[in-house]
Amino acid sequence: MNLTELNRIATAMVAPGKGILAADESSGTIKKRFDAIGVESTEENRRDYREMLFRSKDAMSQYISGVILYDETIWQNAKDGTPLIKLIEQSGAIPGIKVDEGTQGLPMCPGELVTVGLDKLAERLKKYYERGARFAKWRAVIDIGSDIPSMTAISVNAHALARYAALCQAAQIVPIVEPEVLMDGDHDIDRCYEVTQRVLNTTFQELRVQRVALEGMVLKPNMAISGKKCPKQASVEEVAEKTIRLLKACVPAAVPGIAFLSGGQSDEQATAHLNAMHKLGSLPWGLTFSYGRALQAAPQKAWSGRPENVAAGQRAFSHRARMNGLASKGEWQSSLEQKAA
């Protein structure tokens, strides 16, 4: 393992003013996205859509540090025969790959899930590295309910995240460690804080047990935020303050950076929260975005599967990428959104 090179890549992934595009939707997830805009989810349409994003030169070169790909996409070529992964590299961004294989029910824990995909992961990582991937992603899903999460679910998922991270580093690939506490419930921000604290502490304990080099990884957590169904939604300032307090309590300074998931927040909400965090002063690690839907909802709608809309889709993507790039330096203002509307 070359830790110096892993650290260089991890640091580049969270460079100031740039963030990670999560373009790793599974076939089922992107079908839902395409259904919403009236586009059939064929392999060709999925390729055309992602090619549109990766050829958005302004966005990719100025605001995107890396792209998380789905297995289908990493092997695809653009219409002109250029591998899609090469388009990413040519823009200056780093190609990455989602390597988990989804979730399944956790035995003895009703309503809870465990992420699978560790079997033969070492062999898959070798092929992905040869293809050009330099980082990977594994998502653990923790739900909040009246009796959950259980310590079992937290422990099992943290253990799997750490095993995945160790296998990545052994393959000279930077692991994105993503323990996501879902915001789907009716819990308040303090309940989210408490659960996320347990999840992060357990995850870092497992990472240490499995000898993962913290200097060669990136953390992709949720923010401390109210559940979507909670009658009292926390303000932008409260989300920012509590999230930073939580991360400072749980995330060692050795970690080069943190790239938030958007987790179902609206485009502007995700941007505003990240911006507010950077207003709170200096931080021990890089802090940026790794958004999927919050970067892609607008370009998907603008594109709507029509070749004549490619330029409009790219403009929408560039706008969202720029807004989040500014937020990752604490320089975003809501008036910038209104000017673009």
Q: Tokens 């090469």 correspond to what residue?
A: 86
**For residue 299, what are the CA distances in angstroms to 295, 310, 313, 320, 327?**
8, 9, 4, 9, 19
**Which residues have a Cβ under 8 Å from the Cβ of 107 and sit 6 or more positions away?**
none
What is the residue extent of each domain of the chain?
Answer: 3-340
What CA–CA distance (Å, rounded) separates 77 from 60? 18
H helix or E strand, kind and range, residue 323: helix 310-327
pLDDT tier at 339, thresholds 50, 70, 90: low
- Mean pLDDT of all residues belonging to the chain: 96
Residue 338's pLDDT is what?
Answer: 76
| Stretch (H or E) spanning 95 | strand 94-98
DSSP state of 77: B
What 8-state DSSP symbol labels residue 171?
T
From the list 18, 137, 220, 242, the catalytic residue is: 220
pLDDT reading at 340 higher than 80: no
Tokens matching residue 270: 């995700």
Summarize pLDDT for 214-264 with one digit per residue, the tens.
999 999 999 999 999 999 999 999 999 999 999 999 999 999 999 999 988
Helix (H, G, I), strand (E, B) or coil at 72: helix
The answer to whether residue 27 scores a pLDDT higher than 60 is yes
Percent of the chain with pLDDT over 70: 99
Told to judge if 178 belongs to the known catalytic residues of this protein, a careful annotator would answer yes
What number of H helices and E strands is found in the chain?
A: 14, 10
DSSP string, 193-261: HHHHHHHHHHHHHHHHHTT--GGG-EE-PPPS---TT-SSPPPHHHHHHHHHHHHHHHS-TTS-EEEE-
Q: Is 337 a catalytic residue?
A: no
pLDDT at 341 over 60: no
Q: Which of 178, 180, 206, 242 is catalytic?
A: 178
Between helix 267-278 and helix 236-250 the angle, nearest 10°, is 60
The CATH H-level superfamily of 3-340 is: Aldolase class I (3.20.20.70)
Residue 47 is predicted with a pLDDT of 96
